[in-house]
Chains A and B, each alone.
Chain A
Amino acid sequence: MANMAQAIRMALHYSETHLGVSEIFGQDVGAPLGGVFTCTQGLKTTWNTPLDERGIVGAAIGLGLAGQRCVAEIQFCDYIFNTIDLLKMVGNTSWTTNGQYNLPIVLMTPTGAGIRGSVYHSHSFDAWASRLPGWKIVMPSTPLDAYGLLLSAVKDPNPVLFLKPKSLLRIRGEELIPGEPSNEKELKQRIDAPLGDRSFWQPNWPDLQDFEVPIGKAKIVRSGDELTVISYGRTLPLCLKVAEKLKANIGVSIEVIDLRSIYPYDWQTMKASIKKTGRVLFVNEDTEVTNFGEHLVYRTTQDLFYDLMARPKVLAGKNIPGIGLYPAMEEASVPYEHEIEKEILEILAEVP
């Protein structure tokens, strides 16, 4: 099965051959590197930009104003902050022009911890991004969802921020992408650039098919009826693992929802689940004060106050300005399995 980096690459190939994407650009996005996580290897419309994040976003805006479809990348979300006023402008372009201009651009950026990335390769952007009205924001946790969400993002007439959970980019999926060869080695041989000299290398793309994961639709990845865990990105598979472990160890039944879209978000799926279980934990790794999960807790208390059996909770990154390089520091800073388990057990133990 493809890993997420390969899935993104295949989605971009499909986009430039079938969906009219004319420019894919960012720092080290083009040959020879094809992206620091190899997500843009072998594509025909990629090119390398100056090391200028504002220029990258500005170029995307201008291409959007000219009605062209592009995919731009900020190499790590930790470096997106000097573009935040431009992101605000992207979000308000349709609104301020009274609908006369829309910007059909996709901006992708790797986010989150999990690769021992220290202070400037570990931060998250989802909470910040949720304060940028006019954008759609998505974050996959599986290769197939990455493929489907990216195709939906490219087709969307609005700006879409595609957050790549960097620690999951090398993780293989459990479902085939439509058109993907079932033999993993064959896929690698066809689309992964060789080590060393790549000047004569050409990918041999499989015959990929269209596939959409609709923006705004969550996915129940594990059914349960005693507690709901809602997450996205890096922490989603951790939540799933903890749910399986608690089922095996103490027989508790936990429902796990992969939100997939941060904005617009699938409240109906969340609401139905929380109504059923009466207990909910929101897990993400951006910092905890004014975290996006807090907004979801607010909605939970507004819509489901009398259905709750326990206080709804958010488990997020600690409100500190950096993530330390030493593993024990990182694991104390952002959610890992031990903390997710502890929170779940506390919520389960609460008596209304």
Chain B
Amino acid sequence: MIQNQSSKLKVNSKKSSPKVQKIKAARTSKSTDDFMGLEASLVKQIFNLMLKSRVLEERLIKIYKAGEAFFWIGAPGEEAFGVPLGLLVNKGHGIKHDYLHLHYRATPTVVAMGMPMIDSIRLIMNKVTDPHTGGRNFSNHYCIPKWNVTPITSPIGVQYNFAIGTGLAQSKDQSSGISIITGGDAGTAESDFASCLIWSSRPERPLPLLITVQNNGWGISTAYSGQHGEKNIADRGKAFGIRTRLINGNDPIETYIALKEEMDYIRKERKPVLLEAYVSRLYGHSSASGANLDDKETDCLALFSQRIKDSGLMSNQDISELRNTFEAEARDAMETARQEAFPSPDSIWDHTYFQSENADWRNF
């Protein structure tokens, strides 16, 4: 189904920004695939990070299956969307930079932003060294304040709501910082998604939000037709006068160009965009459904590998060497994390309040 939907989405070259057209014209490669004008180094960087993110997720699943984690949820199948997003973020802390309100399929985005593999492994293994939650939360529940990656939560859809607040803060500021939301198609049934559309499009105070939906065609175990009546989720933005866009999120090049254009628009116009990307879910919802490869789904990494090879940018050997390097990095990270401590039981009261002010009523 995803493939059918994706194939309907043709890239309209007229939509390319002047900058992209310039890049296209300046490109010297003679390969038949010109990657819509993107520089070869950027194409390779995207591929590299997609592969790295995939290898990391595969390692997380192995850690879960080996009984060294209680739960896995993650992002294999969303690399072609998440990596370009991470590369395009204006990364930093504070309202002059972009805020990220991500969901629990965000590994490709934070890997592209520069998160080391070991930090994701520490998180899934509940190590005290986990920089995101101190070993308190599930896999893929990232939190990186220095890059405005706000805490990822398990309830679906709430991140569309929280972005209203960072968007409000940025709407008063003259800089180009925006708030970016990712989420799944099923999560858009929550009222928080409607809140986001309504609050961001009020003429009195429009908000600079990139509202994205990664449509993988599933809500846990329920297929799209059991979740939605609307043909495209993006169409819901039209009722609010919000600029909308549908893209094939299994194509990292199309995604990169579309995201760049939409982010440029939001940075300049300070208005929201609703972008829906068709993606795949390669290992099911989570470890609760087994975390096994679903070979009926389109694999964006396999498609892109083939395209990279066909274009002559990388050989089979280059790719397998790269994979081996990442696998070794992931294995070493796991070995290191294994040696690290778990949180101590007496730390349960810590951080209930700011600077661990006493929270235990027994001591009031």
Contacts and interface: CB of A to CB of B under 8 A. Distances in A.
Contacts of B292: none
A54 B356 CA distance: 28
Given A95-B351, A96-B136, A97-B143, A264 B361 contact: yes
Contacts of B350: 95, 98-99
A95 B161 contact: no
A211 interface: no
B354 A52 contact: no
Nearest to B164: A59
Contact of B163 (A49, A62, A136): A62
Nearest to A295: B361
Interface in B139-183: 141, 143, 145, 150-151, 153, 155, 158, 161-170, 172, 179
Contacts of A65: 99, 150, 162, 165-166
B166 A63 contact: yes
Contacts of B58: none
Given A58-B164, A65-B99, A97-B133, A265 B195 contact: no
A86 B161 contact: yes
Nearest to A263: B361
Contacts of A96: 133, 136-137, 141, 143, 151, 153
Interface string B190-211: 0110010011001001000000
User: Interface majority SS on A: helix, strand, loop or mixed?
Assistant: mixed
Nearest to B350: A99
B201 to A, nearest CB: 11
Interface residues of B, number: 49
Interface residues of A, number: 47
A95 B136 contact: yes
Given A95-B351, A98-B134, A100-B145, A55 B198 contact: yes
A58 B145 contact: no
A65 B143 CA distance: 11
B209 to A, nearest CB: 10
Contacts of B337: none
15 contacts: A50-B199, A55-B161, A62-B167, A63-B165, A63-B168, A89-B155, A96-B137, A97-B145, A97-B351, A99-B134, A101-B143, A101-B151, A133-B352, A134-B352, A158-B353
Interface of A: 22-23, 47, 49-50, 52, 54-55, 57-68, 70, 85-86, 89, 93-102, 133-134, 136, 157-158, 216, 263-268, 299
Given A158-B357, A264-B359, 16 more contacts: A50-B198, A58-B162, A62-B163, A62-B166, A62-B167, A62-B169, A66-B99, A68-B169, A70-B165, A86-B158, A94-B351, A96-B136, A134-B359, A158-B353, A264-B361, A267-B364
Interface of B: 94-95, 99, 101, 130, 132-134, 136-137, 141, 143, 145, 150-151, 153, 155, 158, 161-170, 172, 179, 191-192, 195, 198-199, 202, 205, 350-359, 361, 364
Q: Top 9 closest A-B pairs, CB basis?
A: A62-B165, A58-B161, A98-B134, A99-B351, A66-B169, A55-B195, A157-B354, A63-B165, A267-B364
